[in-house]
Structure 1
């Protein structure tokens, strides 16, 4: 089966610093890949390159075999790449329900009338309410997004991404800043997306217990390079990962374990 998302020699330089260095990796439908590595390894930058927030210095990103390197974030989102950020990305002055309804309506190809009267669009309202219930936010549907606690803002961002119905879900530290009680809700959501078997899910995460519970595969970045790629238990136990997390220099060639 061909990959849904793929990078070939993807590279970005900031002045003399190479933040992502010739990373080639393929991601398939029905799998959840965790991208891990020490601070400064290039994980979020790699995400930004794949989702179009940054423009690569070299290399390409392919979606369904088509080079989408010339598309920005909006163009890639329209093609089916969904992205949740470390820092929430919401309409702060709209209510919780309005944030999700806009995503539902955008998915319905009605971008020209995003602020039209909602009561005329019962199906959009019902869909939005469904996604709010999925993340346990139906009880605060009329609250302005800016007034939500951090954990609820993260859940709202996930609801928005789900409402856009992407084929690729990219989660950048989805549990960051959440309380112990809130974390299981997001992990359960991601598990349910994975169980559908038709989504390609990428996860940047520092918490190894989260990685172990969710990932089918782990990709390790260190100093912008891909240094390990394989089944979770083997990757976590491998010398190259131990060296990377201890801050020592790993082997230049990726270890497939």
Structure 2
């Protein structure tokens, strides 16, 4: 059952474009995303998926076009301001404070979300509720046993879990995951997928997922959009998009995609 749609998308791109010299890496991509949905962004290597993410989150400045969050044009905002406005992207947060412990990282993310500044000790002496919230988040991502480890010392899979923990602490309106299971062992992958499933139950949240593993896409996505050479090539329900000949050609490499006039 799909959540009730509203007139204003939670996130929208309008003719979003970026050029590097003579190369158009993302070409006039217009797409609207609604709360309560998980959209997978797929395509072959070099299709522009991560570049599109970078344009949305503010890591790259667009050559033209707009990014809107709940109808507000945030195109001119830097990445940090977009995060405070409600865009949460996992990779931005992994090395937030690499020399601090896992728990300290989560606590600081909670403080940032609530505008309490970074005076860790005074704040935490006065805010037991924040400590309890941090404990719950660490338990959710299965990092309670490593709460006192330095973030930089965590194995790769645990760093990915910490990314999700920090995102949960920031409580964004839009979650952006760029290949969240990349480099993880077979045993670690289900933890991340379970976390994303949990986030999907929050119908006021929007999730964007770049993922190469099609079994993950099929299981999690409500919708798939396909980029090819920076252009939006397909957009729809997973079964329909995956089965379409143009996606079979471009994504699975079964045959070259013919250029249209």
TM-score relative to the length of structure 2: 0.93
| Number of aligned residues | 253
Aligned to 2:62: 56
Gaps of 5+ in 1: none
> Shift of residue 252 of structure 1?
5.2
Q: Classify 1:250/1:156 alpha carbon distance in 2 versus 1 (closer, same or farther; 3 Å).
A: farther
Aligned to 2:86: 80
User: Does residue 201 of structure 2 align to residue 186 of structure 1?
Assistant: no
User: Does residue 216 of structure 2 align to residue 223 of structure 1?
Assistant: no
Q: Classify 1:11/1:252 alpha carbon distance in 2 versus 1 (closer, same or farther; 3 Å).
A: farther
Aligned to 1:109: 115
What SS is found at the alignment partner of 1:111? coil
Q: Classify 1:8/1:158 alpha carbon distance in 2 versus 1 (closer, same or farther; 3 Å).
A: same
Deviations 1:205-242 (A, max 9, x none): 00000000100000000000000000001100101101
Q: Alignment partner for residue 71 of structure 1, among 64, 77, 80? A: 77
CA distance, structure 2, for counterparts of residue 43 and residue 17 of structure 1: 15
Aligned to 1:248: 256
CA distance, structure 2, for counterparts of residue 125 and residue 53 of structure 1: 31
Asked if the contact 2:93–2:163 (Cα under 8 Å) also holds between the matched residues in 1, the reply is: no
Aligned to 2:152: 146
Aligned to 2:51: 45
Aligned to 1:36: 42
Deviations 1:171-203 (A, max 9, x none): 000011111111111111111111121110000
